[in-house]
Structure 1
Amino acid sequence: MKKESIIRFIVSGMLCFASVFAEAQNVKIDQPWSVRMAESEMIRWPESWQLDFQPKLKWDYCHGLELQAMLDVYDRYGNKKFYDYALAYVDTMVNDDGTIKKYKLEEYSLDRVNSGKILFRIYEQTKDVKYKKALDLLRSQFDGQPRNADGGFWHKKVYPNQVWLDGVYMGAPFYAEYAYRNNEVDAYQDVVNQFLMAARHTYDPQTDLFKHACDVSRKERWADPVTGRSLHSWGRAMGWYAMAFVDALDFIPVHEAGRDSMLVVLNQLASQIKRLQDEETGLWYQVLDKSGEPGNYLESSCSAMFVYSLFKAVRKGYVDKSYLKVALKGYQGILDHFIEVDERGLVSITKACAVAGLGGKNYRSGDYDYYIHEQVRDNDPKAVGPFILASLEWEHLQDVKEIVNQE
């Protein structure tokens, strides 16, 4: 038997055992939603590297998104199994010298930075120097990341001159936290600029929305020949952007120049989110500037991202308290329309767009037909992670209500 066949046989056997083991597990329904969803994912994917439906090791943003949420569950509820699940992933992916399996710095892809955020807490608890070296490696990517003339990062080296809202989330919160933890005071202006630059390039005054992306060179087929903006406002792109604000602001000093401008844009985003909330369900559509039109659908990842962002923005005082009503309605809408629980108590979140992009080898035109016909699936990490984060915010709110009621 060839070596490759033996490896496949062993892996197949391990996955089979894991599947049988998972079948015997249940999730208790009297727990908070954040815990129930996190436990459900751990049962579905016994090894944390398997998240995002992966058959092999991968270093990408989805693992970081979910495992960040699970570390937050650990921080709140203290069950070490959530921390151990995250630790198992980074211990597998990060080598002793700080290099990272499947990570290639020379690709200069912002998508590869996001998972680095979980390393801050892992290093803080383990003091294992390999994680500090990995953090430094990811930080070094910004030093060579291709930029436009205004300092805005390209989304990827293979996407020249392109600014995507997705990319702001993938890079800026990590950059901000690294600067905060390492006293890189000169980096804050670069972080702030990524947010404001993206706003300038993607905002469409005709719809009062932010478009998915902009090709500053205006050369791509998907780009408007005059503005460079893509055709539509994609729900999850605006969701990434909103989450980027509330996460990065945790680490940007209150009196840093430009922070007030970030808050102006965040409030603009909040207003847009409120305006486009579906009145009946409290949810949001896949293509925001075509909300309610034939073929469009209510989508779970952007809905969860918006709810999390509004909850946190209200809690931190970034937006008016009136937005709490929008977040509460949206959260209930998620529970009513997207959350399913099976006979073993496993929680699923349905109706998530699997992926959407622009350009590339299999060219994505970014027109309306493209967005509404991309694959839709259950338990996509881009819905799971934000649902856990939104649930944690909601659970915190319940604690506050109990304290107020007691007083």
Structure 2
Amino acid sequence: MLETKSAKDLWAVKTAASIMERTPELYEENGHHGKWSYDYGVVLKGFERLWQVTGDEQYAQYIQHNMDYFIQDNGSIRGYRIQEHNIDHLNNGKLMFGLYDRTGKTKYKLAAGLLREQLLSHPRTSEGAFWHKQVYPYQIWLDGLYMGTPFYLEYLLRWEPEEDLLNDVTKQFILCVQHTRDDATGLLYHAWDEQRVQPWSHSVTGQSPNFWGRSIGWFAMALVDVLELLPAHHPDYPKLVEIFTDTMTALSTYQDTASGVWYQVVNEGERKGNYLEASASSMIVYAMAKGIRLGWLPKEWESVLNHAYAGLISEFVLETSQGWVNLYKNCQVAGLGGDARRDGSYAYYISEPIITNDQKGMGAFLLACTEYEYLLHAKV
């Protein structure tokens, strides 16, 4: 258990302060305004959780300041094009609910409605799973479950409360696992191609060839966020809990014994070039802590979690002389489309740039710290 600390000494608080001071505008990139990007939503969900547990208005203001650059008074979204049918573009929509509740401004509800509208025409596999993007046809990526399903579910529960539609959310997980799970390890492959035509796609299974840490992290976060919202009486609720416990059990098998965290390619810890990766490890810690708190994982998991959380701090975090939190060893990006190099091979995943303070990593780390320090241990 944690020792009792003052709020300013908690990693969640120090991380949030570092982000606000270093990047007051998340969308500023080298002096230019950035595009509508899912990264902001990962960071700002961390701020939203921290605001909810502390009541500190500066966190809510930071969310609003960053989203207001994009959300126009009529509910349109700067830089967003619905016809792209990119599931990533839904992630920031999760912030619209809290902004609407806090301010009462209609523009946030309208923006959420615009993003919801995308799913009405978003292309799907023959079984009804959303494609990752229109430019990546017939493909399910684990990443997309985090980007789309928690937003979709919360929108439905608030503004389209039809039980049948909730089945469309749970179906996304069930189909994804059906097509990406490896029976030997229990781990999930990064992606699946229904058509078996992508260079990375196995000719029989359609699966990509490796277990990328962050993609499984995205999936685990998506599951706990959806389970937190999904009515417990829903017929698929037990199935999603089973998928979650199965996935976390598989991940625990590949937890690095010495450090407590996870590798970029999860099951290849001994292989040359592999490295312990911050964003995936943070996502797994967040999902595990939330799973314990909400009762989907038994209390015995706390020892696994404590080892992992200590590993996050010791392996990836360094404070600067001015007290800013730096998060090291983040894979910058890893996808399975766009050029021949992105072939899903082991060599590809370990060749992508490794950077410090990546927004996806910082957001996931903030979520993990908030869940662990405030919500699971309730120390402040």
Scaled to the shorter chain, the TM-score interval is: over 0.9
SS of aligned partner of 1:260: helix
1:81 aligns with 2:81: no
Between the aligned partners of 1:38 and 1:32, the Cα distance in structure 2 is 10
Shift of 1:30: 4.1
Q: Which position in structure 1 is the counterpart of 2:338?
A: 360
Q: What CA deviation, in whole Å up to 9, does each residue of 1:355-379 have, x standing for no partner?
A: 0000214641110000001000011
Asked whether the equivalents of residues 285 and 292 of structure 1 are also in contact (C-alpha less than 8 Å), the reply is no
Shift of 1:185: 2.8
Letter of the aligned partner of 1:90 in structure 2? M
* Equivalent of 2:248 in 270, 284, 296: 270
Between the aligned partners of 2:73 and 2:376, the Cα distance in structure 1 is 42
* Equivalent of 1:102 in 79, 83, 93: 79
Q: Which position in structure 2 is the counterpart of 1:208?
A: 186
After superposition, residues 282-361 of structure 1 pair within 5 angstroms as: 282-361=260-339
Between the aligned partners of 1:362 and 1:57, the Cα distance in structure 2 is 26
Relative to structure 1, the CA distance from residue 176 to residue 398 in structure 2 (aligned partners, 3 Å threshold; closer, same or farther) is closer
1:373 aligns with 2:351: yes
Asked whether the equivalents of residues 242 and 309 of structure 1 are also in contact (C-alpha less than 8 Å), the reply is yes
SS of aligned partner of 1:340: strand
Asked whether the equivalents of residues 243 and 309 of structure 1 are also in contact (C-alpha less than 8 Å), the reply is yes
Larger RCO, structures 1/2 (Cα 8 Å, 6+ apart): 2
Q: What CA deviation, in whole Å up to 9, does each residue of 1:120-174 have, x standing for no partner?
A: 1001111111111101010111111100111100000011100000001100010
Q: Which position in structure 1 is the counterpart of 2:3?
A: none
Q: Which position in structure 2 is the counterpart of 1:9?
A: none
Asked whether the equivalents of residues 204 and 210 of structure 1 are also in contact (C-alpha less than 8 Å), the reply is yes
Q: Which position in structure 1 is the counterpart of 2:203?
A: 225
Q: Which position in structure 2 is the counterpart of 1:4?
A: none
Q: Which position in structure 2 is the counterpart of 1:174?
A: 151
Q: Which position in structure 1 is the counterpart of 2:222?
A: 244
Shift of 1:283: 0.8
Identity of aligned residues (%): 39
Q: Which position in structure 2 is the counterpart of 1:185?
A: 163
Q: What CA deviation, in whole Å up to 9, does each residue of 1:203-259 have, x standing for no partner?
A: 122333110000011010110000000010000000000000000112111111211
Between the aligned partners of 1:54 and 1:204, the Cα distance in structure 2 is 44
Between the aligned partners of 2:24 and 2:129, the Cα distance in structure 1 is 39
SS of aligned partner of 1:210: coil
Letter of the aligned partner of 1:72 in structure 2? R
Asked whether the equivalents of residues 138 and 193 of structure 2 are also in contact (C-alpha less than 8 Å), the reply is yes
Between the aligned partners of 1:288 and 1:364, the Cα distance in structure 2 is 18
SS of aligned partner of 1:263: helix
* Equivalent of 2:234 in 256, 260, 283: 256
1:35 aligns with 2:25: no
Letter of the aligned partner of 2:268 in structure 1? K
Relative to structure 1, the CA distance from residue 355 to residue 180 in structure 2 (aligned partners, 3 Å threshold; closer, same or farther) is same
Letter of the aligned partner of 1:41 in structure 2? I
Letter of the aligned partner of 1:74 in structure 2? W
Between the aligned partners of 1:332 and 1:390, the Cα distance in structure 2 is 12
1:391 aligns with 2:369: yes
Between the aligned partners of 1:29 and 1:321, the Cα distance in structure 2 is 25
Shift of 1:180: 1.4
Between the aligned partners of 1:203 and 1:128, the Cα distance in structure 2 is 42
Asked whether the equivalents of residues 373 and 379 of structure 2 are also in contact (C-alpha less than 8 Å), the reply is no
Q: 5+ residue gaps in structure 2?
A: 1-5
Q: 5+ residue gaps in structure 1?
A: 1-27, 403-407
Which shifted more, 138-147 or 70-79? 70-79
Larger C-alpha radius of gyration, 1 or 2? 1
Letter of the aligned partner of 1:222 in structure 2? W
Between the aligned partners of 2:209 and 2:249, the Cα distance in structure 1 is 21
Between the aligned partners of 1:57 and 1:101, the Cα distance in structure 2 is 10
Q: What CA deviation, in whole Å up to 9, does each residue of 1:251-273 have, x standing for no partner?
A: 11111121111111101111011
TM-score (norm. length: structure 1): 0.89
Asked whether the equivalents of residues 185 and 250 of structure 2 are also in contact (C-alpha less than 8 Å), the reply is no
Asked whether the equivalents of residues 348 and 379 of structure 1 are also in contact (C-alpha less than 8 Å), the reply is yes
Letter of the aligned partner of 1:333 in structure 2? G
* Equivalent of 1:66 in 43, 46, 66: 43
* Equivalent of 1:117 in 87, 94, 100: 94
Relative to structure 1, the CA distance from residue 362 to residue 43 in structure 2 (aligned partners, 3 Å threshold; closer, same or farther) is farther
Q: What CA deviation, in whole Å up to 9, does each residue of 1:266-318 have, x standing for no partner?
A: 01111011101000000100001212211100000010000010000010011
* Equivalent of 1:160 in 133, 137, 151: 137
Asked whether the equivalents of residues 29 and 345 of structure 1 are also in contact (C-alpha less than 8 Å), the reply is no
Between the aligned partners of 1:281 and 1:394, the Cα distance in structure 2 is 18
SS of aligned partner of 1:209: coil
Q: Which position in structure 1 is the counterpart of 2:173?
A: 195
